[in-house]
Amino acid sequence: MAELEGLEYGKSDFVLLDEVTMEQFMENLRLRFEKGRIYTFIGEVVVSVNPYRQLDIYGKEVIEDYRGRELYENPPHLYAVADAAYKAMKRRAKDTCIVISGESGAGKTEASKYIMQYIAAITNPSQRAEVESVKNVLLKSNCVLEAFGNAKTNRNDNSSRFGKYMDINFNFNGDPTGGHINNYLLEKSRVVQQQEGERNFHSFYQVLRGGSDELLKSLYLQRDPAQYAYTSQGASVTLASNNDSLCHKAVMAALKVIGFTAEEIISIYKILSTILHLGNLQFTSDGEHVILVGEDTVKHISELTSTEPENARKTLLYRTVATGGGEVIEKGHNEQEASYGRDAFAKALYERLFAWIVGRINSVIEVKDYNPALHGKNTVIGVLDIYGFEIFDNNSFEQFCINYCNEKLQQLFIELILRQEQDEYQREGITWQHIEYFNNQIIVDLVEQPHKGIISILDEACLTAGKVTDTVCLDSMNKKLGQHPHYTSRKLCPADKTMEFNRDFRIRHYAGDVTYSVEGFLDKNKDPLFQDFKRLMYNSSDPVLKEMWPDGKMSITEVTKRPLTAATLFKNSIIALVYKLACKEPYYVRCIKPNEVKSPMLFNDGRCQHQVAYLGLLENVRVSDQEAVEAIVNQHGFEDDVAYGHTKLFVRTPRTLFTLEQERAALIPILVLFLQKVWRGALARMRCRKIRAIYTIMAYYKCYKVKAHFWEVERCFANVRNMADYGKSVEWPKPPAALVQFHRITQHLYRRWWARQLIKNIPPSDMAEVRAKVAALSALSGERVDWGYSRAWERDYLASAKDSPLTSTNFVRITKELKNKDQYSQVLFSCSVRMLNWFNNTKDRALLITDKHIYRLEPKKHFKVQKRISLDVVGVSVTSGSDQMVALHTTSQDDFLVHLQRGQLNPNQDRVGELVGSLTDHFTRVKNTPLPVKVCSTGLQVHMSGKPKSITVETKPGQTVADFKKSRTGFTLLLPHQ
């Protein structure tokens, strides 16, 4: 590192200081800051100083410099610790975490973004689409969470007003497969009020200044934030490095990339606009009742929340309560209660919106269908970016919770880095000098200890019946904590005029003394919201809003368990977070804020020294520096740099460690290959034995299943000859996989046998009709429902005395003459038809089809032959309806278009199937060629005298007989109305 940076930049690792004193530590830190070196190591801990400017040290080339390199191979950088955590996770399949800590404005959020970008850049070298998608969502989620969870404070233009812990899941290849985000304690009080010089959450200003005119119009919003009570305080506050309009476009794009639907995005901005409109609601009193000022605003709110205006108005003015007897009454608010309810509703809306956005992101990035047996071990890198320690002019409940969280994280740092290392020295028998450090467990206990801690006292006050004020709660804290060395108040210390009587208490935190105002503590801890608002939102027709308020479905009279207070919920979540971090191998980034005016040039010694002190950085250096020498590793020449404990080797300087790491890295592939060879051989032999056993079992089982199937089939079909349906109703047993093909063949043979049993009983005289019906069934393919299959087929209807009693004798005589003349063998079909003539007029004619010709006959002229063509039909077209229209297509493109007339035998019988079946059977058996049959659902296409015509079918009221009528594209068959 010294070779890469040069001595003019100071010591790149604080453990290399000649003497570990606060003066040398600060001198080295200042020198590196002034030279643009904002990162410095303390062993494996990275100290980061906020430069308050953009530095060209984060590009692709820099990423490549740190990819896969050891921690001390390159100058200190966030990328170095990110790569170390990634390598530890990938090499040892061990879960790791990167804890980023420091004051508000020290650069924690930016550090977390750079770490995320580095992990995204070095993973997925094969560019698999699903992994790239996960990476994109993980990166884009930062943009969305900053918009809705960050705000401008007096210390920081982009201050995280919530805590964020993100787990990134990796597969055995080291590629990210998903993740999960935990959010902690959103500062929702900021929604309705901000301190002077601060702004509301970025999202409000982004939509007002960056939303399109159409969007703002649909949300009933004006572009000026000063028009709204909740954003007016920060409307004139400018940001040095944040363009609200550009950020809005980036957030909209990020939401789409993550997977939010267009409907979900508009619902998000409807909720934001609802909050802004709520802030502008005013209440006045007419003496007895509270009145809403501005009904239009209520209408806008109800429209944006998809609720009824009257319900919204009543919810804002009244509270529904249940009496002890189960009676439900409406109690009107006074002005103060109505304003309180409005603000509580606005805060709850934003808090639930934020939680829903986080949950929606989690639903997209969570690892799905993970199976360790198939996908290998799933390892995790956790990244913690949580609010820094805060001391404001007015510190309230939020600062109390935030600073308690920092106490817990500092305690974790002490446990893992300082105390454990010193305890290890003692166990290993290493000569060392005990380092004094501040153990802040006493402050953690002050806040969270059961029955005695501040949170327990707050909860007890919240649960006490009757009117318990913040002042009463402060008195209770004074009584129970008056002797605690880290707690005081004005009552306990009357001479300290920096605190107010009955209002302030002070905690001596590890980072400094903080005075808290107890005003509002109980309200914020109870976090009350009238149930009417929850019911109003649950009954919204907007599915996004409804999903956010599941507790709104409870009835008014339903008795529920008292919910946990805000402080207890936060305490439980932070304890769970610390437990989660303690289970992982930690890497630390300790952020330092160089000045209070966000200057890239100013290094305030007092402020920085204070942070170095309370972060325990000097003690961290001393623990590393006291590594004594007990034995010499002669073969490496580390005479003054290595000591042996009872079970571990202790190394003082990074160069020695780096050399050892290099040699270890060179040896690992050789050992790994050898172990892989031996283990793969063992695995292959075990697998071979298992496969042999499996195949043996499979062979016997297969044989059993085959025999069992044969026995089952034999049992099922043993008596089918004596059944009325010859076993058609018998259900076939399901075959094993090996017999699927055999099963199909067996079924086919059975069906042929079954058909034979039926056919053998049919008289030879009926076989022609059976064949014709089978041919019709095949040709029509089930597309025509009724085709006359259930009746006897006459075929030659004009020769039937029953069907044509007046003309049958004459027709028989004429057909005998035609048979002698044209030498045909049989009549395939005949009946009376309605037919188009050459002049496109419709006439009643007779249709005769023989095995050689098709005849058009004139019935009124003793069946004189009008047209005769060879039976050279190239196709038949019919409709899928019940009409009797048939088109016989010919090679001469002069098609026969007829409507079959029903005779006296049965006026309702369908003869289309009979004609189709007779022709199809003849063509198949005699001509040995298939006859194309087309069943049309809308109409027919024919050629007449070589010209194409379209034939449609219509039902016409008042029509007595079927007839053809000329249309624009051809003809229409008009049918009588049934």
Q: Residue 337 — φ and ψ, nearest 5°?
A: -65, -40
Neighbours of 294 (CB within 10 A): 12
Is 279 one of the annotated binding-site residues? no
Is 104 one of the annotated binding-site residues? yes
In the beta sheet, which residues pair with residue 900?
A: 833
Contacts of 778 (CB under 8 A, 6+ apart): 920
Give, as one character, the DSSP assignment of residue 417: I
Is 35 one of the annotated binding-site residues? no
Is 103 one of the annotated binding-site residues? yes
Q: Is 142 left (phi over 0), alpha (psi -120 to 50) or beta?
A: alpha
Distance CA 639, CA 684 (A): 47
In the beta sheet, which residues pair with residue 487?
A: 507
Helix/strand/coil for 285: strand
Is 584 one of the annotated binding-site residues? no
Distance CA 40, CA 13 (A): 6
Helix/strand/coil for 179: strand
Distance CA 770, CA 774 (A): 6
- C-alpha radius of gyration, the chain, whole number: 45
Residue keyed to tokens 């909740």: 230
Report residue 775 as tokens: 């041919």
Question: Strand 970-976 to strand 963-966: parallel, antiparallel, or no bridges (unpaired)?
Answer: antiparallel
Q: Report yes or no: 876 and 913 within 8 Å, Cβ to Cβ.
A: no
Is 68 one of the annotated binding-site residues? no
Residue keyed to tokens 């001469």: 892
DSSP string, 642-697: EEE-SS-EEE-SHHHHHHHHHHHHHHHHHHHHHHHHHHHHHHHHHHHHHHHHHHHH
Is 108 one of the annotated binding-site residues? yes
Report residue 11 as tokens: 């010591």
Report residue 472 as tokens: 């009463």
Q: Is 781 left (phi over 0), alpha (psi -120 to 50) or beta?
A: left
Q: Which of 114, 133, 126, 124 is nearest to 66 (CA)?
A: 114
Give every strand in the sheet of 512-517, ordered side by side.
487-489, 504-509, 512-517
Q: In sequence order, what E strands does 770-863 have?
A: 827-836, 842-850, 853-858
Give, as one character, the DSSP assignment of residue 826: -
Distance CA 570, CA 566 (A): 6
Q: Which of 573, 114, 176, 574 is nearest to 380 (CA)?
A: 176
The alpha carbon torsion through 386, 616, 428, 631 (nearest 10 deg) reads 120
Is 891 one of the annotated binding-site residues? no
Annotated binding site: 102-109
Binding-site sequence positions for ATP? 102-109
